[in-house]
Amino acid sequence: MIEQSTVERVLAEGLSKGAEFAEVFVEDRRSSSALLDDGKVEELTSGRDRGAGIRVVVGESTGFAHTSDLTEEGLLAAARTAAAAARGAGAGTTVVALSETSAPRPNVVAILPGDVPKARKVELLTAADEVARSQGGAITQVTARYADSVRRILVANSDGTLATDDQVRTMFSVSCVASGDTGMQTGRESVGHTVGFELFDRYDVEELARRAADRAITKLRARPAPAGEMTVVIGPGGGGVMFHEACGHGLEADLVAKGASVFAGRIGEQVASPLVTLVDDGTMGGEWGCFSVDDEGRPAQRNVLIQDGVLVDYMWDGLRARKEGRPSSGNGRRQSYQHLPMVRMTNTYLVDGQSSPDEIVADTPSGVYIAHLGGGQVNTATGDFVFGMTEAYLIEDGKITEPLREGNLIGNGPAVLSNIDAVGNDFAMGAPGTCGKDGQGVPVGDGVPTLRVSAGLTIGGTAA
């Protein structure tokens, strides 16, 4: 993307005023998307964005500048701006010798999305629309979306790191609205992986559309969700977002350092049921949050955060790891070259247990079974959270019975972790997600097996 000699001169310029650390991040991103709504193609877009971000660190001060000018002159100007912003002192010449970081690729891309005609991508949208509408007259609206991106990055720093990565992501989603006597209900299915167009050799968009439509139609006969504290069983895959939000963010080292995490200072403590092992893993081949190196050039890693209920580590980016005299955990991520990296999750999941999912439900006299959770929010300082339930059912006499209208799931992260009394052996990853933090969004994945929370969760429903 840029000659190594140029990168070395830019780093030297960043260090020339007495800085302790300098970094060059170069990004070239191509993307395309298509949207079909009510049988019509409403959007068909493609774009390219390329540029570089220069970071310079002096003590506790960080200077950052970004530019879309990738000439040597443009990069040197950005380096000088970043160095000035860091308010370094002194002068001199610093030589930076770079050595390439070797990191295994988590997957192999078979078909680059850019090599596929746009007409073929539109055919997928049309097929999904037709199948969804064929599920019944109750389906009144169908929206289908296709998107892909190819992201090439180069990261170099004054510690000698030189790393590159190519990240290809492809996704597809279908949303359906069903109308009936109880009003309108929605159903959604999405799939996305860090792979190319071969995604559609693995997944049938017509089956995705069928499931989305059936979910919306089923919810038309749903009864109001109950209200109050009760036992909750969370199904495989669809409940992973709860651990991402309620636990994962609190295990990011920047929030821990700020005292904004309920898990601060608790390394080595029992913070969860012994059935809980929580992992963040950027090496999961093909999953939405995987990569070869993070946005600071550190190879992706599998990081165990909670082992058998004991908190064993946090997630780290390079800057905070340097302060603690430890290596980064490969969790330095940024939205684009225009942003500074920060500690972010990759693919966060609860490890499989030993129980049969059927037995977990059968051993639950009453409660709520949640197949899919929607968006939510968490206070990382206290662990309190609230999520929307997009697909849920009653559990009566050990059986999953009637569907429930959408309600809220309310609880506290540490309390939930402690009250997990059964973990299934049917682990699955959930839908692709975008994690927002401090104004930046990055692709992430999450997953869980079936699990039961015996206490501490409140259903915010409207049933009397």
Please, which pLDDT band fits residue 89 given cuts at 50, 70 and 90? very low
Asked if 314 and 248 count as a contact pair (C-beta separation under 8 A), the reply is no
Range from 94-98, 111-115, 120-124 carrying the lowest mean pLDDT:
94-98
pLDDT for 377 equals 85
Could you give the CA distance from residue 190 to residue 168 in angstroms, rounded to a whole number?
17
Please give the structure tokens belonging to residue 417: 């972790």
Judge residue 186's burial from the number of C-beta atoms within 10 Å of its C-beta, 0-12 exposed, 13-18 middle, 19 or more buried. Answer: middle
Pick left, alpha or beta for residue 297 (phi over 0 → left; psi -120 to 50 → alpha; otherwise beta). left
The partner residues of 279 in beta bridges, in order of sequence, read: 304, 349
Instruction: Domain 113-152+161-220: give its CATH superfamily.
Output: PmbA/TldD superfamily (3.30.2290.10)
pLDDT for 246 equals 84
Judge residue 446's burial from the number of C-beta atoms within 10 Å of its C-beta, 0-12 exposed, 13-18 middle, 19 or more buried. Answer: buried
The average pLDDT across 120-134 equals: 97
| pLDDT over 80 at 102, yes or no | no
pLDDT for 176 equals 97
Half-sphere exposure (CA, 13 Å, Cβ side) for 412? 14
Could you give the CA distance from residue 237 to residue 234 in angstroms, rounded to a whole number?
9
Please, which pLDDT band fits residue 359 given cuts at 50, 70 and 90? very high
| pLDDT over 90 at 101, yes or no | no
pLDDT for 464 equals 53
Tell me which of 442 and 99 has the higher pLDDT.
442
Could you give the CA distance from residue 226 to residue 210 in angstroms, rounded to a whole number?
28
Residue 26: closest CA among 62, 78, 63, 86: 78
- Domain ranges for the chain, please list them: 4-30+47-100, 113-152+161-220, 227-460
Task: Kindly report, residue by residue over 372-410, the tens digit of the pLDDT.
Answer: 998 888 899 999 999 999 999 999 999 999 999 878 999
Residue 54: closest CA among 42, 44, 62, 46: 62
pLDDT for 92 equals 46
Please give the structure tokens belonging to residue 253: 């080292």
Tokens 């966060």 locate to 348
Range from 74-88, 253-267, 343-357, 438-452 carrying the lowest mean pLDDT:
74-88
Could you give the CA distance from residue 420 to residue 449 in angstroms, rounded to a whole number?
12
Task: Kindly report, residue by residue over 18-48, the tens digit of the pLDDT.
Answer: 899 999 999 999 999 999 998 999 999 999 9
The proportion of the chain whose per-residue pLDDT surpasses 90, expressed as a percent, equals 87
Asked if 48 and 29 count as a contact pair (C-beta separation under 8 A), the reply is yes
| pLDDT over 60 at 249, yes or no | yes
| pLDDT over 90 at 127, yes or no | yes
| pLDDT over 60 at 263, yes or no | yes
Task: Kindly report, residue by residue over 179-212, the tens digit of the pLDDT.
Answer: 998 789 999 999 999 999 999 999 999 999 999 9
Please, which pLDDT band fits residue 281 given cuts at 50, 70 and 90? very high
